[in-house]
Structure 1
Amino acid sequence: MLGELPKLRDKLVFEIEGRDPQDGIDMAGSMMSPLWNGQTSRHGKQHATDREKVVEAVTAVHIAAALAQFFSTGAIRRK
């Protein structure tokens, strides 16, 4: 999704409109980035990231759940 979101940015809308209609889409991308970059061993890398603590995993679950909810409920959807 991190690679595709910038391509789709102008075709998507987030239900809560900010100053810029794309603020919510940018927020979603910002939420995705630490999941992908901060937990490399969970995404097929051979070497674990420096910090892979329980609290980090719990936090990642909350972020991932919010993102899944945004997309599955239509809070983020095509225009």
Structure 2
Amino acid sequence: MHGELQQIAPKLVFEIEGAGAQHGVEMVRGMVRVLWDGRTSRHGSLGPTRKETRSEVVAAVHLAGTLVQYFSSGAIRRA
């Protein structure tokens, strides 16, 4: 999703426009980036991954749930 979102971002809109047409899309991309960079153990690695705290995992679940809701509800969608 991380790579795909990067490619199609200019074709997306977010329900809350913000300061500009891509402002909300950039916020969503940032949320995806936080999950991608922060949850190394979920995405595999050639080297050892760092130990994640319980509170970090809980926060990641909430962030992922929010992203799923944005996409499934149409809050972020193709223009």
TM-score (norm 2): 0.89
The 5 A counterparts of 1:1-79 are: 1-45=1-45, 46-49=47-50, 51-79=51-79
How many residue pairs end up in the alignment?
78
Query: How far off its partner does 1:6 sit?
Result: 2.4
C-alpha distance in structure 2 between counterparts of 1:25 and 1:32, whole Å: 11
Query: How far off its partner does 1:2 sit?
Result: 1.6
Query: How far off its partner does 1:48 sit?
Result: 2.0
In structure 2, runs of 5+ residues without a counterpart are none
Q: State which drifts further: 27-36 or 63-72.
A: 27-36
Q: 1:40–1:47: 8 Å Cα contact kept in structure 2?
A: no
Identity within the alignment, %: 51
Q: Could you tell me which amino acid in structure 2 is paired with residue 18 of structure 1? A: G
Give 4+ residue runs of structure 1 displaced > 2 Å after superposition: none
3-state DSSP class of the match of 2:2?
A: coil
C-alpha distance in structure 2 between counterparts of 1:2 and 1:30, whole Å: 10
Coordinate RMSD, CA, aligned: 1.2
3-state DSSP class of the match of 2:19?
A: coil
CA deviation digits over 1:1-54, x for unaligned, max 9? 2212222112111001111111111011111112111111111225222x4000
TM-score (norm 1): 0.89
In structure 1, runs of 5+ residues without a counterpart are none
